Structure 1
Amino acid sequence: MSFIEAIKDRARQSRKTIVLPESMEIRTLEATAQILSEDICDVILIGDKDEITNIGMNFDISRATIVDPNSFEQMDAYVAKLVELREKKGMTLEKAGEILKTDALYLGVMMVKMGLADGMVAGAVNSTANVLRPSLQILKTAPNTKLVSSFFVMVVPNCEFGHQGIFVYSDCGLVQNPNAEELAAIAGSSAKSFKSLVGAEPIVGMLSHSTKGSATHPDVDKVVEATKIAKSLYPEYKIDGEFQSDAAIVPSIGAAKAPGNEIAGHANVLVFPDLDAGNICYKLTERLAKADAYGPITQGIAKPVNDLSRGCTAEDIVGVVAITAVQAQ
């Protein structure tokens, strides 16, 4: 069974409800039809029912719940709760009402906050900043979490490395230039995410252009320091570095460049030193290795809200929704 089929199966075992606020987007409606036909989870769409039905006329979305902000029976309670949450930031009843009736992302996050939905997926037409802003304002970070970051699950076909060709790449979509403490937090969160979603032991490689002192530079120093912090904070996980990418995943190269190191050559969680490196690498892996890239998946928010690439397909949305449903379990 493939990674994503296993995720879908897990989602079915404890059925959740995911809100998809970009309901006027054809890819969202195509994905909704597939999600419902495969019985992965329940779906809430936001918007005018006639408009949504018209746009999705070629897809069976009849089992989806459609919430129209202009006739939503619970709107008054949602408005009052948003004011309560954001009153210190100047939120008023009038402003909250306008936001929740006109911005589906805010309404979607409030559905998660209020328990109507278990998670949210968006980003097919919205920027990452727009998707995550209401999440951080309303849901905030999970307990004992220092940083919200993101990762991709990369499933590489015919690959002998990682866990049967499966890797977590982090951070590829959110934290621009993490310092050593932030990089360590990303490592810990990514290990936890790998274990939760893949179900195997995470082996974390902290990546650099240097392997165990082969180069000297402040960028290398940051990864070395981050590795020390991560190993101290997360002793339950196998974490080491600094490694060049080949030394992290190829056993023979890991043995040559870091002899005697149990992690070198065996990493399945790759932590990149900055967003440039992570984003470039995941896109190259996706295109050159024809890998499936699921994400960016967020980690560290109190409840699961996940962003999509604006170049995503309907199939990509289905995969991220299934992952979000499993996260919500």
Structure 2
Amino acid sequence: MKLTDFDFDLPEGLIATRPARPRSAARLLLAEGGTIADRHVGDLPQILRPGDLLVLNDTKVIPARLTGTRARQTPQGEAVARIEITLLEPAADGWQALAKPLRKLRVGEVIRFGDALTAEVAEMSATGLRLIFDATGEAFDAALQQVGAMPLPPYIAALRAPDDQDRDDYQTVWAAHQGAVAAPTASLHFDAPLLEALAARGVEFVHVTLHVGAGTFLPVKVDDVTTHRMHAEWGEVTPEAAAAINRAKAEGRRVIPVGTTALRLIESAAPEPGRIAPFRGTTDIFIYPGHHFRVTDGLMTNFHLPKSTLLMLVSALMGAEKIREIYGHAVRDGYRFFSYGDASLLIP
């Protein structure tokens, strides 16, 4: 299984830099029973069945993109340099982060993010660093809200800078547990009226948590994709959530995760076909063609990057040939791609 098997041509003009408004106005490619249909996310109450269980990731994205300065004494006086920081995940002491430019930083240096927050460089590696901030807990959260920006994916950030509108656009309406540095983007299509209409239809919901990490954007660098190692992310399936999913499976109802993050979590928590167990910890599950799905009956997801692990995941669910057909249709018909783009509902 080669990396080139998951490549396709994507015109840059199809990369969405802003979401649809309202959220549920986004287009929806419905692939079910061997057919492809062009719909809209707002049609979900007519598409889904009463009793279908949607699995929703309730992680909350933090404003993890920080712009700071560091000052260093030189023979010519004090030199001030601008530093771009992207928080990755909490460490035992401080935060793991990326820095740009990394090579100019030194252990012990202090980076100032305005008047609200400072951080000391505690540790350096070839690819990142560990920062210890001068605030913790609620004080840190408040300062981060003041000085941070939403960590837009690289393919959007390359086209425009994040702004205040992204604080709302890049967050789900049910976000509850803070800790993600990337959004579960399929969930961004839902708004309150759509959730109410789905509930009236008899569609049920259950919440799980997977804190999406920046590693979700890491490219696959090996030609033999089966040798790729996934990044680890922290997640939780509560006993109540596991019971709701097991009840749906026992009753023959469909379990449909909204987003690849929710899918990866429930598949990680399933010890055997048809059953899920409570789960709390990290997962680095890598799903590619050949994977046997244990609790997933379908998936709502956005359109993914060429040669990405997420494209491999949907190929595992639908079959590689079918995904090539679906993505070919999406490109020809002008669907909008990636985090702020349109959606697909994949029912194998």
TM-score (norm 1): 0.27
TM-score (norm 2): 0.26
More strand by share: 2
